[in-house]
Structure 1
Amino acid sequence: MIKVSVVIPTFNRAKLLAETILSALDQTLADREIIVVDDGSTDDTSEVVKTFQERVIYIRQPNSGPANARNTGVRMAKGKYVAFLDSDDLWLPEKLELQYQLIEQNLNWGLIFTDVMWFSDGQVMLPTLREKYQLHTGEVFEKLLFDNWIATSSVLVRKEYLEEVRGFDEDPQIMYVEDWNLWIRLAHRYQFAMVDKVLVKRRYHQNRLGLVNPEKQFKAILYNLEKLRRSFPELKDKAELFSQKYYQVSFQRGYEDLNVFEPKKARSKFALALKHKKDLKVLFFYLLTFLPPELLRVGKRMVNLFKGR
Structure 2
Amino acid sequence: MAKTEIPITVVVPSYNQGRFIEETIASLLDQEYPDLNILVMDGGSTDDTVGRLKRYGERITWISERDFGQSDAIAKGFARAPDGWITWLNSDDVQSNRALWAVNEVVARDPDAEVVVGQGHYMDEDGSNPRPYPTIEVGPKVDVARQMFEKGYLAQPSIFFRKSAYTKIGGINRALRFCMDYDLWTRFALAGCRFAACDVDISGNRWYATTKSAGQTLELLAEVAAVQVKHFGRVSPYFVQAISDNLYQTLHGSQHGDRHHVVYRLLYFKSVWLWFNIRQPAYCLRGLFKETIAKSGPLVGDRLTYSDCWRGLRKAVGSSKVVA
- Per the TM superposition, whether the score is higher than 0.5 is yes
1:2–1:41 Cα change, 3 Å: farther
- Match for residue 180 of structure 1 among 165, 179, 182: 182
Cross-structure match for 2:273: 273
Alignment of 1:13-32 (within 5 A): 13-32=17-36
Asked if 1:159 is matched to 2:149, the reply is no
1:207 alignment partner, SS class: coil
Contact in 2 for aligned 1:165/1:186 (Cα 8 Å): yes
Contact in 2 for aligned 1:41/1:63 (Cα 8 Å): no
1:5 alignment partner, SS class: strand
Q: Distance in 2 between matches of 1:2 and 1:107?
A: 10
1:46 alignment partner, SS class: helix
Amino acid corresponding to residue 156 of structure 1 in structure 2: F
Q: Distance in 2 between matches of 1:218 and 1:201?
A: 22
Shift of the alpha carbon at 1:52? 1.0
Contact in 2 for aligned 1:9/1:38 (Cα 8 Å): yes
What do the CA deviations read for 1:130-183 (whole angstroms, capped 9, x no partner)? Answer: xx4553333412211122232221111111111111211112xx4211101101
Alignment of 1:128-147 (within 5 A): 128-129=132-133, 132-138=134-140, 139=142, 140-147=144-151
Asked if 1:84 is matched to 2:88, the reply is yes
Q: Distance in 1 between matches of 2:57 and 2:213?
A: 32
Cross-structure match for 2:296: none
CA-atom RMSD in angstroms: 3.1
- Match for residue 94 of structure 1 among 75, 98, 103: 98
1:210–1:101 Cα change, 3 Å: closer
Amino acid corresponding to residue 59 of structure 1 in structure 2: I
Q: Distance in 2 between matches of 1:146 and 1:164?
A: 25
Q: Distance in 2 between matches of 1:175 and 1:60?
A: 20
Asked if 1:256 is matched to 2:246, the reply is yes
Q: Distance in 1 between matches of 2:23 and 2:252?
A: 39
Contact in 1 for aligned 2:13/2:73 (Cα 8 Å): yes
Contact in 2 for aligned 1:181/1:224 (Cα 8 Å): yes
Cross-structure match for 2:192: 189
Alignment of 1:61-140 (within 5 A): 61-120=65-124, 121-126=126-131, 128-129=132-133, 132-138=134-140, 139=142, 140=144
What do the CA deviations read for 1:258-278 (whole angstroms, capped 9, x no partner)? Answer: 2244479x8766413256322
How many residues are aligned here?
A: 272
Query: Going by fraction, where is strand more abundant, 1 or 2?
Result: 1
Q: Distance in 2 between matches of 1:224 and 1:15?
A: 33
Cross-structure match for 1:34: 38
Asked if 1:47 is matched to 2:51, the reply is yes
Shift of the alpha carbon at 1:204? 2.5
Q: Distance in 2 between matches of 1:183 and 1:205?
A: 24
Q: Distance in 2 between matches of 1:142 and 1:163?
A: 23
- Match for residue 228 of structure 1 among 203, 228, 231: 231
- Match for residue 203 of structure 1 among 179, 199, 206: 206
Amino acid corresponding to residue 113 of structure 2 in structure 1: W
Amino acid corresponding to residue 200 of structure 2 in structure 1: K
1:216–1:43 Cα change, 3 Å: same
What do the CA deviations read for 1:3-60 (whole angstroms, capped 9, x no partner)? Answer: 1111111111111001101111111422111000012322221111111111110012
Shift of the alpha carbon at 1:107? 4.4
Determine which structure has more spread, i.e. the larger CA radius of gyration.
Answer: 2
Q: Distance in 1 between matches of 2:248 and 2:6?
A: 51
